[in-house]
A and B are shown apart, each in its own frame.
Chain A
C-alpha cells in the first residue's frame, strides 16, 4: 500500500472533499486526506506528509495563499507540489498560474485531477521507462 500516492485536500467545502476522497481512493491509486479547516491544514500536512496538495483559495479565517506559504516555508514540506483549486477563475485560465502555483478551476472533473496528479507525480512505472 506504500506505493499509493498521498493526496492532501484542503477545502472548507466538506461535501466536495469527502466526494473527492471517495472518488480518488476508489481508483485504488491514491490515499487521500481531507482537511476542512485552513488554519489547521499546515499541521495536518506535517502529520500526513502528502505527495501533493490540493488547496482551496477562498476559505474562512485564512486563505489558500497563506496556507501555501506556510507549507512552502516548512523544510519538511517545501518540495511538495501545491495545486490551487478555486471557484473564482474560469476554466480556460487554468493553464496559467497564480503566484507561481498551478491551479484548477472548480467544478473540476476527476480526469483533470488525476491528469494533474500524474503530471506532477509521474508513476514509477513511467519513470522506469525513460
Chain B
C-alpha cells in the first residue's frame, strides 16, 4: 500500500508541532506530513501541484475563517479528501463542513495518534469510493442525457419515476421531474397509452421482457411516429418487481424508407405486371428469377412460384426450348444485348405465335454476369395483319390491273362505238345523197337526153360556119360532164352489193390502166411494178376497177402536163397495224396475216395537208369547177369499205401523192 501524503494547513505552531508528531508517529510508516502551510491559498497551490493525497484543515486561518476555508478548498480541488480540525468551540462548523463534503472532522484536544491515522485512512478510502461512484453515476448520466433513444423507468402503476433527456424533449418538458408521477396517458394518445399499459402489466406479470416491438405512437400534440420499443421488468435488490423500464428508438425514418421501398417495389411490380409485354429475369444458368403476369400467362403458369428456379425446358417442347436457351446463352456469353429479334414460337396450345424479343445481359458489380433480362412482345396479330395487308395489296394491285384492262377495253369499245357512229352518220349522209341522186338523176337525165339528141341531130347537118360546129361540140361536152356528175351520184345510190369472185388484182389494174389511157394527153411515163403471182383476192372486179380508174384519173389530173405514174403491187405479212388501219377495219387485219398492197404514186401537185382528212367526203374536190364531180374518192372509199379493205392517201416527201390500198388475202 502506497504512503499517505498529508498536507497540514494550520497556523498555530503548537498545533503544527503536535499534529505532525501524531501523524508521523505511524508504526506502519504509511502516514506522513509532506507539507505544511498556514494559508488556504498556498494549500490549494500545493494540492493542485499534486503534492498531497489528503488535507488536515484548520478552520481558523489568517487568510480565511470558518466554513469558508473548507468551501474554498473543496471548490478548488474537489477530489482531495479533507479532514477538518476544530476547537471545542467551533465543533458546529466542523459538522457543517462534513455535510458540505469534508470526510471527517476532529476536535483538537481530543485527538490521539490512532484516531488521526484512522481518520486519514478512512478519508482517503471514502473519497476514493465516492469518486468511483460519482464516475459511475456520471457514466449513467452521460448515457441517459446523450443517447437519442428514449429511456424511462416506471413504478408498478406505470408512473414515470425517471426519464432521460430524449424522452423529456419528446414530451417538451423543461425538466425531467415534471414527468415524474405521470403516466403515458398524460402524454400519448389513448390508443398507444392503453397498449403500453397492457404491455407493461404483461412484463411485470410474466417478468419476461418484450423486445423490439414496433409501435405506432400518437402524441397529444398530434405528431405521429414509429418506434422500436423494448420493455424490461424493473426489480429491486430482493428480486421483487417494482416497475418497468424501457428503451424506445424512433424508426419513423426507417419505417418511411421501408414503406417508400415497398411502394416503389409495388409500383415496379404493378408496372411490369400491367405491361402487356412478357418480362422475366434469368440467372446465368437460365433459371427464372422473376417474371411478370404476362409471362406467367404465356407459359401457362398461375403463380410465380411455379416458375422461379425452373428453366425454359420445363415449359416448352425441347426443340422450341433449345432455340430460346441458345439465344439466352449467346447473350450471356457475348454480354451483348439482342434487340428486337423476331422469334417464331409455339404457345401452350401449340399454335404458332410471333414474338418481338430483346434480351439484355444483367451485369452485377465488377461486371460479373448475373443473368439476363428479357422483354418480349407478342406480335402475332401484327404479323397476321401484315400478311393480310400484303395479300390485300396484291389483291388491290390485281384489281387495279383488271380495272385498267377493263378501262382500256371500255375505251376501245368507246372508240369503236364512235367510229361506228361516224360511219352511221356517214352512211346516213350517203343514203340521203343517194335518194337525192336517184330523184335528180331521172329528172336531169331526160332533159340531157333531149339536148344530147338535139346536138347530135344538128351535128349531122351540113353547117355553113365553123363557129356553130364549135358550139355544138362544147354543148356535147357539157352534156357529157353533166351526165358524169349524175353518174357519180348514182354510184352512191346503187345497191351496196358486191358480186365477189376470186380475182387477180394485177389483171384488174391493167384493164383500168387501158381505160384511163385516153386521159393521158401529155408527157407521161407509166411505171408498172406489179408483183407476179399475187395471191387471188375476193373482189367485185367491176367495182374495184372503178376504184382504180378513179384513183388513176385523179393521179393523172394532179400531174397536169406530165409526170411519172407508178403502179405497184406486192404481198406481205402484216407486221403492225398502222395508223391507216384504224377503227372497225382493224378487226379484219390481224398481225401476221397475209395482205396484198397496191400503191399508186404520182409526181403531181399533191394534196394540201389540211385537206387530206376531207378528200373522201362527198362533193369535196381540189379540182377547178367543171373538172371534177367531187364524188370520185367518195365512191372509192365506199367500194373499198365494202371489201373490208383500207385506203390511205398521203403526200410523198418529194412531190406527189401516194394512194395505198391494202386487201386481206
- From B442, B448, B483, B542, contact of A58 by CB (8 A): B442
Chain A stretch 91-121: residues in CB contact (< 8 A) with chain B: 91-93, 105-110
- From B442, B449, B491, B494, contact of A107 by CB (8 A): B449
The smallest C-beta distance from A117 to any residue of chain B, in angstroms, reads 15
- The residues of A that contact B487 with a CB separation of less than 8 Å are 90-92
- From A13, A58, A89, A107, contact of B452 by CB (8 A): A107
- The residues of A that contact B447 with a CB separation of less than 8 Å are 15
For the complex, give the distance between the alpha carbons of A108 and B448 in Å: 9
Q: What's the tally of chain B residues with a CB closer than 8 Å to chain A?
A: 27
A48 sits at the interface (CB 8 A): no
- Can you name the residue of chain A whose Cβ is closest to the Cβ of B493? A88
B446 sits at the interface (CB 8 A): yes
Asked if A106 contacts B494 (CB within 8 A), the reply is no
- Can you name the residue of chain B whose Cβ is closest to the Cβ of A93? B494
Chain B stretch 477-509: residues in CB contact (< 8 A) with chain A: 479, 483, 486-487, 490-491, 494
- From A26, A87, A90, A92, contact of B449 by CB (8 A): A87
Q: What's the tally of chain A residues with a CB closer than 8 Å to chain B?
A: 23
- The residues of B that contact A16 with a CB separation of less than 8 Å are 446, 449-450, 453
B17 sits at the interface (CB 8 A): no
Chain B stretch 548-594: residues in CB contact (< 8 A) with chain A: none
Q: A26-B460, A92-B487, A107-B479 are in contact. Are A87 and B453 (CB under 8 A)?
A: no
Asked if A108 contacts B491 (CB within 8 A), the reply is no
Asked if B490 contacts A107 (CB within 8 A), the reply is no
For the complex, give the distance between the alpha carbons of A19 and B454 in Å: 6
Chain B stretch 409-454: residues in CB contact (< 8 A) with chain A: 438, 441-454
- The residues of A that contact B438 with a CB separation of less than 8 Å are 88
A40 sits at the interface (CB 8 A): no
For the complex, give the distance between the alpha carbons of A19 and B445 in Å: 15
- Can you name the residue of chain B whose Cβ is closest to the Cβ of A57? B442
Asked if B441 contacts A88 (CB within 8 A), the reply is yes
Q: A13-B450, A107-B483 are in contact. Are A88 and B456 (CB under 8 A)?
A: no
Asked if A19 contacts B457 (CB within 8 A), the reply is yes
Asked if B454 contacts A106 (CB within 8 A), the reply is no
For the complex, give the distance between the alpha carbons of A109 and B455 in Å: 10
- Can you name the residue of chain A whose Cβ is closest to the Cβ of B490? A90
- The residues of B that contact A83 with a CB separation of less than 8 Å are none
For the complex, give the distance between the alpha carbons of A81 and B134 in Å: 183
For the complex, give the distance between the alpha carbons of A85 and B452 in Å: 14
B345 sits at the interface (CB 8 A): no
Interface positions of B (Cβ within 8 A of A): 438, 441-454, 456-457, 460, 479, 483, 486-487, 490-491, 494, 542, 546
**Which 8 pairs from chain A and chain B are nearest by CB?**
A87-B445, A19-B453, A107-B452, A106-B449, A107-B449, A107-B448, A90-B487, A15-B450
